[in-house]
Amino acid sequence: MQIYNTLTRRKETFTPLDVSRVRMYVCGITVYDYCHIGHARVMVAFDMITRYLRWRGFEVDYVRNITDIDDKILKRAEENGEPIAALTARMIDAMHEDEGRLGVLRPDREPRATAHVDDIIAMVQRLVDKGYAYPAANGDVYYRVRRFEGYGKLSNRDLDDMRSGARIEVEAAKEDPLDFVLWKAAKPGEESWPSPWGEGRPGWHIECSAMSTCCLGDTFDIHGGGPDLVFPHHENEIAQSEAATGQAYVNTWMHAGAVRVDHEKMSKSLGNFFTIREVLEAHAPEVVRYLLLASHYRSPINYAPDALGEARRSLERFYNALQGVTPAEGEVAAHYRERFVAAMDDDFNTAEALAVLFDLARELNRTKQEAPQRAPALAYELISLGGVLGLFGQAPADFLQAGAGQLPMTEEEIEARIEARAQAKKAKDFATADGIRDELAALGIVLKDSREGTTWVIEGS
């Protein structure tokens, strides 16, 4: 199995520290607002990776943190006039609801920053004791970036070039503008915890260093997250963790690609910012999941109506192939599974894996006509391999006819009109038959004729 390592900027043979166990940490959500479509990309990508590793026989210990104390959380709670704990609890519940609808399995562990404050303080103290950190006159504790020899190795940045970086915070209390905060002194009225440096709260970067090493050990196999986390967050995690433990922090760094909206960066200021729940109001969850899997996890995705329409049509091809067949285990040519594994073993290439499944669906369609006795085994294989990606879990009719409840006609009435059309065609009254098709099409009901009969789907659903 080959995985692209952001640290080395190349694909490498994946060899976990323990032969059969993979320890993976993914940076989770700062829970001050609803999750957006960019969060969905990361959720679905690492859900797919976890599912595949388990299917390949690995035991996966998947940890994804929750940041439940942060400047944005404090600000939003104050704006809302609600306690911080109430805000974060509400947003965590919403996050779980959103990812559940997308078919994302829960991580094995979801550590929260507020539950690991003692561990965070202990790590900051080790860094102070080793000379990698210093308490400042303003009550904060900062990390000495230039003290860590390997700083910049993940993002491939030069320290001197970074001095002019837009994301470097300049504080008079810092020894160097590059230094970053590990512990923040509390402002009046802020939620805080006692520490050797006074009342305060953790900096964002140190939270993940403490939680990941507490859950998975000083060194673990995979650390993942979104593309915006490479610098400074993950760069800072490496510096903190390796300075504190004296060990290599992570063997393989993985980052999902960005989501763009109509080829532009997603931004509230541009008015093209979509939460997961907003998207799911208009589109079926499996369609959104398919769109997020149809490209390689490291590639950028363009979120646009035509992209979602294409994702819907792709899923329709699979579900149409599965319709009318009762899946059952049986003999299937080995090359489908072999090609699927080869694609996924090549840095989780879902785009190529789906191409294999399209070939399998085409054979299923042919077999339904030419050798129907072989169709159940092919359908079983298609559902089995699709399930590795978290797809094809619905009954075909449920997917294809989703949204029928909003039509001005019941399913029984639709079926009656289809039967009337069949009788008209049998009587060679093609004008009536075409009229029924056009009547249903005007209502958004698309008829699909095949040798097995006529089925229907909701247009654009």
Q: Divide the 461 residues of the chain into consecutive groups of 10 and give the mean pLDDT of each group.
A: 98 96 98 96 98 98 97 96 97 98 98 98 98 97 97 93 58 91 95 97 97 98 97 97 98 96 76 88 94 97 89 95 96 96 98 98 96 97 98 94 65 83 90 87 78 71 49
- Sequence-distant (6+) residues with CB within 8 A of 222 are 3, 22, 23, 24, 25, 49, 250, 251, 252, 253, 254
For the residues of 43-72, what is the DSSP string, one character each?
HHHHHHHHHHHHHTT-EEEEEE-BB-SSHH
75: annotated binding-site residue? no
> DSSP assignment, residue 283?
S
426: annotated binding-site residue? no
- Sequence-distant (6+) residues with CB within 8 A of 437 are 421, 447
Residue 149, number of CB atoms within 10 A of its CB: 10
Which residue type is seen at 395? A
3-state secondary structure of 183: strand
d(CA 149, CA 240): 12
> DSSP assignment, residue 113?
G
For the chain, how many residues are written? 461
Q: 197-203: which pairs have CB atoms within 8 A and are 24 or more residues apart?
A: 197/135, 197/139, 197/140, 197/141, 198/139, 200/139, 200/140, 201/69, 201/117, 202/69, 202/113, 202/117, 202/120
What are the start-end ranges of the E strands in 101-236? 133-135, 141-143, 180-185, 200-202, 220-225
> DSSP assignment, residue 169?
P
Structure tokens at 50: 């976890």
Instruction: Give residue 263's pLDDT.
Output: 79
Instruction: Give residue 166's pLDDT.
Output: 40
Closest CA to 364 of 377, 378, 348, 352: 378
Query: What is the torsional sign of CA 403, 408, 413, 416?
Result: negative
Instruction: Give residue 258's pLDDT.
Output: 94
Cα 386 from chain centre: 17
Closest CA to 43 of 293, 284, 277: 293
Structure tokens at 402: 């989703």
Task: Indicate the pTM of the whole model.
Answer: 0.88
215: annotated binding-site residue? no
d(CA 52, CA 47): 9
268: annotated binding-site residue? yes
233: annotated binding-site residue? yes
Instruction: Give residue 165's pLDDT.
Output: 47
For the residues of 411-436, what is the DSSP string, one character each?
HHHHHHHHHHHHHHHHTT-HHHHHHH
Q: Which residue has the tokens 């810092």?
A: 174
d(CA 74, CA 83): 9
d(CA 257, CA 264): 14
- Three-state SS sequence of 349-414: CHHHHHHHHHHHHHHHHHHHHHCHHHHHHHHHHHHHHHHHCCCCCCCHHHHHCCCHHHCCCCHHHH
